């Protein structure tokens, strides 16, 4: 997993609450077994018209949104089913940071396990970010996981909280397998001892 320390990127604002995982990645695209290739199906029902062409009114299809790597949304982001494909699709599309007042628990955990930083802020702070994104063209933010700060070029500086263990794993690019491999020498010693007994 790619480590996350500091990320500066363009913001796209998706002014919706309760965005569920079936909107993030619809069920008909869950047939793949690998983690890659889901980005092209992200927000499929909103991204496209009935004929399959791009919907120019959807926020991510607007010219200013191209290249965005920070997604700003409203409360309860990632609700619905527990599919891990949702963070896979967001990460594959290019998002590294998601900001919202609240997240569904399983989605929130899956973000950390897939190298993305979900940042919880108050409703008032998120309202302010929406205003800033609407005011400044190509609005950018810098998320610093080492200092747990979020800043822009217009005087904004916010602190956010991340549980220490999750922060450690993301800073060092450790998913569940990576955490296990940190103890590879102990695992090898255990296997050697039990092979000798058998």
Going from the N-terminus, what domains does the chain have, and what CATH number goes with each?
Answer: 6-172 (3.20.19.10)
Q: What is the structure's pLDDT at 181?
A: 56
What's the chain's average pLDDT? Answer: 91
Number of Cβ within 10 Å of residue 14's Cβ equals 20
How does pLDDT run across 127-171, given as a tens digit for each residue? 999 999 999 999 999 999 999 999 999 999 999 999 999 999 999
How does pLDDT run across 43-83, given as a tens digit for each residue? 999 999 999 899 999 999 999 999 999 999 999 999 998 88
- What is the value of pTM for the model shown? 0.89
Is the pLDDT assigned to residue 176 strictly greater than 80? no
DSSP labels, 125-140? HHHHHHHHHHHSTT-E
Rounded Cα gap, residues 144 and 39, in angstroms: 25
């Amino acid at each position: 997993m790619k480590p996350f320390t500091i990320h500066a990127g363009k913001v796209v604002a998706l002014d919706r609450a309760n965005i569920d995982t079936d909107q993030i990645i619809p069920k008909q695209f869950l047939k793949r077994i690998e983690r890659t290739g889901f980005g092209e199906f992200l927000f499929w029902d909103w991204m496209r018209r009935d004929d399959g062409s791009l919907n120019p009114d959807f926020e991510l299809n607007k010219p200013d949104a191209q290249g965005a790597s920070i997604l700003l949304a409203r409360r309860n982001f990632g609700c619905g089913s527990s599919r891990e494909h949702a963070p896979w699709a967001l990460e594959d599309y290019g998002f590294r940071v998601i900001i919202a007042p609240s997240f569904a628990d399983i989605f929130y955990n899956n973000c950390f396990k897939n190298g993305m930083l979900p940042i919880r802020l108050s409703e008032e702070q998120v309202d302010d970010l929406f205003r800033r994104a609407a005011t400044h063209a190509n609005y950018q933010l810098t998320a610093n996981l080492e200092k747990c700060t979020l800043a822009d070029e217009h005087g904004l500086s916010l602190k956010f909280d991340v549980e220490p263990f999750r922060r450690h794993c993301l800073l060092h690019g450790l998913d569940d397998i990576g955490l296990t491999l940190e103890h590879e020498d102990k695992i090898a010693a255990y296997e050697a001892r039990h092979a000798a007994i058998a």
